[in-house]
């Protein structure tokens, strides 16, 4: 009997401690936020937050933007709540856009606020808006049916899958900023043109070191990051083959990168071995891609391109002394006794280090050899 | 074998040689009972006979032909017949099929009330009990609760003997044993225990027999009374004794080592023990190919889970965990809930209550009125209430899905209704966490339940590999038909 009472008591305690009953929300009382944009605040306030919120059916549906200023997320939410008559609900938030200006001052503050929010647990996308105000992207008319935040999210996801953008979210950024490398990558978007001619593009990858935006990697450099991180599958590239004087559109089918780290003469040395398979999807000329010699030319050009892009990324890393390649995880995880020694000088050590990149590739055709032959001839 | 039920203490009279005394006793016992016929006869020699029977429970033609006519036309002296006791009368005079002498007046009265004819003959301190039972019945009906597209259409009826005959027709084996007893001090209801010797475990038979014998109540009118009197845990919401309306189901269960209890006056036959997995089994599973049968069984399991959890999950998600709802669905839900004055939990609770009320009214009303109530209910709930913003359309959809899925596992409808409300309350108070705690409690409770000593969750917990061949999934028909016994 005592045991039963104890079990009942424990269950009752655990239920009450769950706090659910205090977190109840009526659907009609919450405003679903699909995207938020952060700009630098005015009049002494730290942030200017714009939230893209679901409109009520009475207001003909759709989405509407509300802006409020404040220094904490709670203040900003309260401000928006006062305007919209609904409590902003961030559990369905897809994206956080931070203006370049604010990112250069305090990027980590925004990340930290959202990481701590228990509504989404840091799974939303984060992006830096180059040049323009971040709020502008929440008003961007894309010509499709989805609201602007969803459009921005799809743009970044597509770039991450098929192009140079690195896959990331608030949680990844927060984790990157916590480590000894103290660096994270964030996609950078740019809004070009105005009104109906406005066009939103992913322009590069922002490197956040410490608390602020340090620099922006150009697409070629960002591609180098992806080569080194081994995240190249399903990406599309154009390779110019000088021997054939032709451009080839290729798709990376499989890629694997192996990074080894060691110390040589007291300096760090990283060997990066890239192995990838690709298929040719189009060509500008009429070179026979089944000819062995031609294939050798294409492979050579692809490997050179990969090595070049990887080295571009490494050069930027050395220049900014920012470990956006996450090399600390590779070296210091194997040599934890050296963490103390590199605590404040990891960036310098990376800049002084030496790097070698070796890419090997092979062609992988789709379908049967007969079909391939038919296709290429 | 069963002993006859105990005396109830009210009737302690004996049968006298003097027929007038017996007549006096009959008159006292059946005072103000217009349906009890006490026919006095005097044969050509002047020997007096009293024929007593309950009008409506007997075949009068049989009494006239096999009892009254032989007595009236028979001359003891002329035939040179001098019977020493009633045995001679039984053997040489009466033409009825089943005749037994009875010395106990109380037992004779009980037999009379059961439809037998009791004959008192002057000069004998025993009565003759002549089997003349016969009363109006509705024939072999089509069962209402266990419809099957393929398979026998016959169902049990209210007459115990017919029900036993239906089983005997399915299992033509002397190993099919039928033991009878009477229970209920007032009703003296016939209860028959049926089992298949060799397939059933002797301990189980003994246990059922003992529990039936131990019943001590004033009346038994339906097998539901028995069910609650003999089950292991009467406080649980789960039914640990099965009830069936179809002879083929009961026959299959007997072969699988169950004991059946047939109660006179009801078409619902109890089967013991019942396991939880039987909730998802229907007789048609065995008449169709295993692939389709298994597909349907899995659907029934899903339907069971949905029907008890769906309202709770909906309330938990829209009240506490909106982030778990896909964005476009959430948008739709928000638009639908705008202007609705009640909390989702209250809304859902009202919907469930309305459904139970609707179901109850449709069950109780005549079919002609029932359809009207159904239409009114659907129109009011589905159209007017949503149109007037009293209830959100999503709640109606969830409630409808809940009710459709509950119809799939109709045999467990009573426990489903309670569990659904329990999980709804927990979800309304504590969200998904509450649902998980509720499920944990239900599962723990299920694991503690026993049906006549057998774990209710067999063959899943404890696991019995042989039993798994016909649990949630059934194996080939050949394997199942070859096997007899419980597990």
> pLDDT tens for residues A278-336?
998 888 888 888 888 998 999 999 999 999 999 999 999 999 999 999 888 888 777 88
| Sheet strands (E) in A5-46 | 30-40
**Which of A15, A25, A56 is the closest to B322 by Cβ?**
A25
Q: Which of B320, B392, B437 to mutate to test the interface with A (most CBs of A within 10 A)?
A: B320
Calculate the CA B395 to chain-centre distance.
Answer: 35
For chain B, the straight-line distance linking the first and the last C-alpha, in angstroms and rounded, comes to 26
pLDDT at B438 over 80: yes
Min Cα distance A115 → chain B (Å) is: 15
Number of Cβ atoms within 10 Å of the Cβ of A139 = 15
Cβ-based neighbours of B345, under 8 Å, separated by 6 or more? B315, B319, B424, B427, B428
Cβ–Cβ below 8 Å for B335 and A26: no
The full 3-state SS of B175-226, as one line of letters, equals CEEEEEEEECCCCCEEEEEEEECCCCCHHHHHHHHHHHHCCCCCCCCCHHHH
Q: Is the pLDDT of residue B352 over 80?
A: yes
**In sequence order, what are the residues at sequence separation of 6 or more whose Cβ sits closer than 8 angstroms to the Cβ of residue B126?**
B15, B85, B86, B101, B102, B103
Length of chain B, please? 487
Higher pLDDT, B145 or A360: A360
pLDDT bracket for residue B242 (50, 70, 90) = very high
Output phi, psi for B147, to 5 deg: -70, 145
| pLDDT higher than 80, residue A125 | yes
Nearest to A20 among B323, B433, B441 (CB): B433
What is the reported pLDDT for A335?
Answer: 82
Q: How confident is the model at residue A123 (pLDDT cuts 50, 70, 90)?
A: confident
List b or e across B185-197, with b for residues whose CB sees 16 or more CB atoms inside 10 angstroms. Answer: bebbbbbbbbbbe
Query: Which segment, A14-18, A45-49, B92-96, B306-310, is predicted with the most confidence on average?
Result: B306-310
pLDDT, residue B2, reads: 41
Give the count of beta carbons closer than 10 Å to the beta carbon of residue A198. Answer: 16
Q: Quick check: B18 pLDDT over 50?
A: yes
The percent of chain B in helix, strand and coil, each rounded to the nearest 5, is 50, 15, 35
Are the Cβ atoms of B338 and A54 closer than 8 angstroms?
A: no
Q: Where are the alpha helices (DSSP H) in A47-203?
A: 73-84, 100-116, 134-137, 148-162, 170-178
Neighbours of B238 (CB within 10 A): 20
What is the percentage of chain A residues whose pLDDT exceeds 70? Answer: 90
Q: Cα–Cα distance between A53 and A36 in angstroms, integer?
A: 9
Q: Which residues contact B148 (CB under 8 A, 6 or more apart)?
A: B246, B282, B283, B284, B287
The verdict on A27 touching B (C-beta cutoff 8 Å) is yes
Across chain B, mean pLDDT equals 85
Give B-chain residues touching A25 at CB under 8 angstroms: 319-320, 322
C-alpha–C-alpha distance, residues B351 and B152, integer Å: 37
d(CA B294, CA A180): 56
State how far the alpha carbon of A127 is from the alpha carbons of A35, A91, B60, in Å.
Answer: 11, 18, 96
- Cβ of A34 and B327 within 8 Å? yes
Q: What's the number of CA atoms in the CB half-sphere (13 Å) around residue B249? A: 27
Chain A residues lying within 8 Å of B338, measured CB to CB: 28, 56-58
Model confidence at B483, pLDDT cuts 50, 70, 90, reads low
A96 forms beta bridges with A36, A126
- Cβ–Cβ contact B429 with A under 8 A: yes
Is B334 close to A54, i.e. CB distance below 8 A? yes
User: Which of the residues B316, B318, B323, B432 would you substitute to probe the A interface, choosing the one with the greatest number of A C-beta atoms within 10 Å?
Assistant: B323
Among residues B377, B385, B375, the alpha carbon closest in space to that of B358 is found at B377
Whether A23 contacts chain B with CB within 8 A: yes
Residue B422 in contact with partner chain A when CB distance is under 8 A: no
Give me the residue from A15, A30, A119 closest to B430, CB to CB. Answer: A15
Please name which of A143, A260, A271 lies closest in space to residue A195, comparing C-alpha atoms.
A143
Contact A20 B434 (CB under 8 A): yes
Q: Residue A73 and residue A34: Cα distance in Å, rounded?
A: 16
- Are B330 and A57 an interchain contact pair (Cβ–Cβ within 8 Å)? no
Beta partners for A189?
A129, A202
Give the tens place of pLDDT for each residue, B444-471: 999 999 999 999 998 888 888 877 887 7
CA distance B387 to chain A (A): 15
Rounded Cα distance between B254 and B271, Å, is 8
**pLDDT band, residue B364 (cuts 50/70/90):** confident
Distance CA B393, CA A27 (A): 13
Report CB contact under 8 Å: A30, B322. Answer: yes
The answer, yes or no, to whether residue B193 has pLDDT greater than 90, is yes
Pick B480 or B227 by higher pLDDT: B227
Interface check A92 vs B, CB under 8 A:
yes
Distance CA B394, CA B319 (A): 13
CB-CB neighbors (< 8 A) of B435 in chain A: none
The verdict on B317 touching A (C-beta cutoff 8 Å) is: no
**Closest CA relative to residue A187, chosen from A211, A214, A169, A161:** A169
Q: Is B110 exposed, middle or buried (0-12, 13-18, 19+ CB in 10 A)?
A: buried
A118 touches chain B (CB under 8 A): no
Tell if the CB–CB gap between B437 and A57 is shorter than 8 Å: no
SS3 B366: coil
User: What's the CA gap between B290 and B283, in Å, rounded?
Assistant: 12
| Whole-number Å distance between alpha carbons of B474 and B285 | 9
Choose the closest CB to A89 out of B322, B339, B340. B322
Residues of chain A positioned with their CB less than 8 A from the CB of B325: 92
Interchain contact B320–A (C-beta under 8 A): yes
CA–CA gap between residue B48 and residue B41 (Å, rounded): 6
| pLDDT tens, position by position, B32-73 | 888 889 889 887 677 788 999 988 888 888 888 888 888 776
A1: DSSP letter:
-
The whole-angstrom distance between B430's CA and the closest CA on chain A is 5
C-alpha to C-alpha distance for B65 and B87, rounded to whole angstroms: 20
Q: What pLDDT score does A241 carry?
A: 94
Strand order in the sheet with A354-363: A236-241, A246-264, A267-283, A354-363
**Does pLDDT of B270 surpass 90?**
yes
How far is CA B68 from each of CA B42, B50, B60, B61, B469, rounded to the nearest angstrom? Answer: 10, 10, 10, 10, 60
Sheet of B127-130: strand order equals B36-42, B48-54, B117-121, B127-130, B99-102
Q: Which residues of A are less than 8 Å from B319 in CB distance? A: 24-26
pLDDT at B5: 39
E strands, A161-302, in order: 183-192, 199-209, 212-217, 236-241, 246-264, 267-283
pLDDT band at B3 (very low <50, low <70, confident <90, very high): very low
**Phi/psi at B387 (nearest 5 deg)?**
-60, -35
Distance CA B456, CA B273 (A): 8
Q: What is the Cα–Cα distance from B46 to B49, expressed in whole angstroms?
A: 9
Nearest CA-CA partner of B425 in B254, B253, B308: B308
Give the three-state DSSP class for A334: coil
Distance (Å) from the alpha carbon of A194 to chain B's nearest alpha carbon:
29
Alpha-carbon distance of A373 to B5, in angstroms, equals 94
What pLDDT does residue A142 have? 66
Tell me the angle at which helices A292-320 and A219-229 cross, rounded to the nearest 10 degrees: 100
| Interface mutation vs chain A, best among B321, B327, B442, most A CBs within 10 Å | B327
Question: Model confidence at B472, in pLDDT bands (50, 70, 90)?
Answer: confident
Residue A24, chain B, CB below 8 Å: the answer is yes
Inter-chain CB proximity B433 and A23 less than 8 Å = no
CA distance B334 to chain A (A): 6
A23 and B437 within 8 Å at the Cβ level: the answer is: no
d(CA A203, CA A48): 24
| Per-residue model confidence (pLDDT) at position B4 | 40
| B 430-469 residues with CB < 8 A to A | 430-431, 433-434, 437, 441
Q: What letters, b where the CB count within 10 A reaches 16 and e where it falls short, cover B332-357?
A: ebbbbbeebebbbbebbbbbbebbee
Task: Provide the whole-model pTM.
Answer: 0.76
Residue with more model confidence, B1 or B117 = B117
Task: State residue A366's pLDDT score.
Answer: 54
User: Using an 8 Å Cβ cutoff, are A120 and A73 in contact?
Assistant: no
CB contact under 8 A, B320 and A32: no
Q: How far apart are CA B140 and CA B157, in angstroms?
A: 6
Interatomic CA distance for residues A360 and A276, integer angstroms: 6
Distance from CA of A26 to the nearest CA of B (A): 6
Residues of B63-88 as b/e, b for ≥16 C-beta within 10 angstroms? beebbbebbeebeeeeeeeebeebee
Chain A residue with Cα closest to B322: A91
Say if strands B189-196 and B242-244 run parallel, antiparallel, or are unpaired.
Answer: unpaired
Beta bridge partners of A208: A184, A213
Task: Taking residues B390-410, report their average pLDDT.
Answer: 89
A86 at the B interface (CB within 8 A)? Answer: no
Q: Do B327 and A119 touch (CB under 8 A)?
A: no
Q: Which of A25, A56, A91 sits opposite B338 (nearest CB)?
A: A56
Whether A61 and chain B come into contact, CB under 8 Å, resolves to: yes
User: What angle, rounded to 10 degrees, do the helices at B247-255 and B160-170 form?
Assistant: 60
Q: How far is CA B410 from CA A139, A359, B148, in A?
A: 54, 66, 13
Sign of CA dihedral A296, A301, A302, A303: positive
Q: Which is more confidently placed, B373 or B235?
A: B235
Residue B473 has pLDDT above 70, yes or no: yes
Q: Do A20 and B429 count as a contact with CB atoms less than 8 A apart?
A: yes
- Smallest CA–CA separation between A311 and chain B, in Å? 41
Q: Which of A163-172, A222-231, B169-178, B357-366 has the lowest mean pLDDT?
A: B357-366
Q: Among A9, A23, A27, A59, pick the best mutation site for testing chain B contact (most B Cβ within 10 A).
A: A27
A17 touches B: beta carbon within 8 Å: no
pLDDT, mean over chain A: 85
Mean pLDDT of A42-68: 83
Q: How far apart are CA A38 and CA B265, in angstroms?
A: 78
A-chain residues within 8 Å CB-CB of B433?
15, 18, 20
- Could you give the CA distance from residue A353 to residue A331 in angstroms, rounded to a whole number? 12
ipTM value greater than 0.85: no
């Amino acid at each position: 009997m005592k045991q039963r009472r104890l079990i009942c008591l424990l269950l009752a305690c655990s239920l009450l401690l769950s706090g659910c009953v205090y977190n109840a929300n009526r659907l009609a009382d919450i405003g679903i936020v699909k995207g938020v944009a952060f700009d630098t605040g005015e009049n002494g306030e730290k942030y200017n937050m714009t939230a893209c919120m679901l409109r009520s059916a009475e207001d003909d549906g759709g989405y509407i933007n509300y802006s409020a200023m404040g220094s904490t997320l709670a203040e900003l939410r309260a401000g928006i709540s006062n305007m919209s008559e609904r409590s902003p609900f961030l559990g369905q938030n897809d994206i956080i856009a931070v203006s370049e200006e604010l990112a250069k001052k305090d990027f980590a503050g925004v990340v930290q606020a959202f990481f701590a929010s228990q509504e989404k647990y840091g799974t939303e996308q984060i992006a830096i808006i180059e040049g323009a105000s971040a709020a502008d992207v929440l008003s961007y008319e894309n010509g499709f049916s989805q609201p602007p935040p969803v459009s921005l999210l799809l743009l970044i996801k597509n770039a991450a899958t098929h192009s140079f953008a690195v896959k990331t979210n608030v949680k990844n950024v927060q984790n990157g900023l916590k480590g000894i490398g103290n660096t994270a990558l964030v996609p950078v978007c740019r809004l070009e043109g105005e009104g109906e001619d406005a066009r939103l593009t992913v322009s590069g990858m922002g490197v956040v070191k410490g608390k602020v935006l340090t620099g922006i990697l150009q697409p070629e450099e960002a591609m180098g990051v992806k080569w080194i991180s081994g995240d190249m599958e399903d990406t599309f590239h154009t390779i110019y083959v000088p021997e054939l004087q032709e451009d080839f559109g290729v798709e990376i089918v499989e890629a694997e990168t192996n990074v080894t780290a060691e110390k040589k003469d007291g300096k760090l040395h990283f060997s990066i071995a890239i192995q990838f398979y690709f298929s040719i999807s189009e060509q500008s000329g009429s070179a026979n891609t089944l000819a062995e010699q031609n294939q050798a030319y294409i492979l050579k050009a692809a490997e050179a391109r990969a090595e070049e892009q990887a080295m571009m990324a490494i050069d930027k890393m050395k220049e900014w002394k920012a470990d956006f390649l996450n090399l600390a995880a590779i070296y210091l995880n194997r040599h934890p006794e050296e963490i103390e020694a590199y605590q404040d000088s990891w960036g310098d050590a990376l800049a002084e280090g030496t790097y070698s990149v070796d890419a090997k590739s092979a062609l992988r055709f789709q379908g049967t050899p007969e079909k391939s032959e038919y296709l290429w001839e | 074998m069963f002993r006859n039920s105990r005396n109830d203490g009210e009737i302690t009279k004996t049968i006298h040689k003097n027929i007038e005394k017996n007549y006096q006793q009959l008159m006292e016992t059946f005072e103000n009972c217009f349906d009890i016929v006490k026919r006095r006869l005097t044969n050509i020699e002047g020997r007096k006979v009293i024929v007593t029977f309950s009008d409506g429970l007997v075949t009068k033609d049989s009494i006239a032909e096999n009892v009254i006519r032989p007595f009236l036309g028979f001359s003891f002296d002329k035939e040179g017949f001098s019977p020493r006791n009633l045995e001679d009368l039984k053997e040489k005079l009466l033409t009825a099929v089943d005749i037994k002498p009875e010395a106990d007046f109380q037992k004779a009265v009980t037999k009379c009330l059961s439809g037998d004819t009791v004959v008192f003959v002057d000069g004998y301190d025993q009565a003759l009990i002549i089997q003349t039972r016969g009363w109006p019945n509705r024939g072999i009906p089509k069962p209402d609760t266990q419809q099957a597209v393929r398979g026998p259409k016959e169902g049990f009826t209210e007459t115990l003997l017919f029900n036993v005959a239906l089983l005997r027709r399915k299992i033509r084996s002397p190993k099919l044993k039928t033991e009878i007893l009477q229970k209920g001090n007032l009703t003296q209801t016939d209860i028959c225990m049926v089992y298949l010797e060799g397939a059933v475990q002797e301990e189980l038979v003994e246990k059922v027999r003992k529990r039936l014998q131990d019943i001590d109540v004033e009346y038994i009118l339906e097998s539901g009374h028995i069910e609650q009197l003999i089950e292991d845990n009467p406080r649980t919401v789960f039914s640990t004794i099965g009830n069936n309306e179809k002879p083929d189901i009961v026959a299959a269960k007997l072969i699988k080592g169950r004991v059946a209890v047939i109660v006179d006056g009801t078409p619902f036959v109890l089967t013991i023990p019942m396991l939880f997995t039987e909730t998802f089994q229907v007789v048609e599973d065995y008449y169709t190919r295993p692939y389709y049968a298994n597909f349907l069984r899995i659907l029934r399991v899903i339907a069971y889970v949905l029907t008890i959890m769906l309202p709770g999950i909906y309330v938990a998600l829209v009240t506490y965990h909106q982030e778990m709802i896909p964005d476009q669905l959430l948008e739709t839900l928000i638009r639908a809930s705008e202007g609705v004055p009640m909390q989702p939990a209250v809304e859902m609770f009202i919907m469930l209550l309305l459904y139970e009320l609707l179901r109850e009214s449709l069950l109780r009303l005549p079919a002609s009125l029932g359809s009207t109530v159904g239409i009114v209910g659907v129109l009011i709930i589905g159209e007017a209430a949503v149109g007037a913003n009293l209830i959100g359309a999503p709640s109606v959809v969830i409630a409808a899905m809940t009710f459709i899925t509950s119809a799939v596992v109709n045999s467990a409808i009573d426990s489903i209704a309670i569990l659904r409300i329990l999980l709804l309350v927990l979800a309304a108070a504590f969200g998904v966490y509450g649902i998980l705690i509720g499920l944990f409690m239900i599962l723990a409770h299920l694991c503690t339940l026993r049906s006549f000593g057998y774990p209710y969750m067999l063959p899943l917990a404890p696991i019995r590999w042989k039993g798994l061949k016909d649990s949630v999934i059934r194996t080939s028909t050949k394997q199942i038909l070859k096997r007899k016994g419980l597990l």
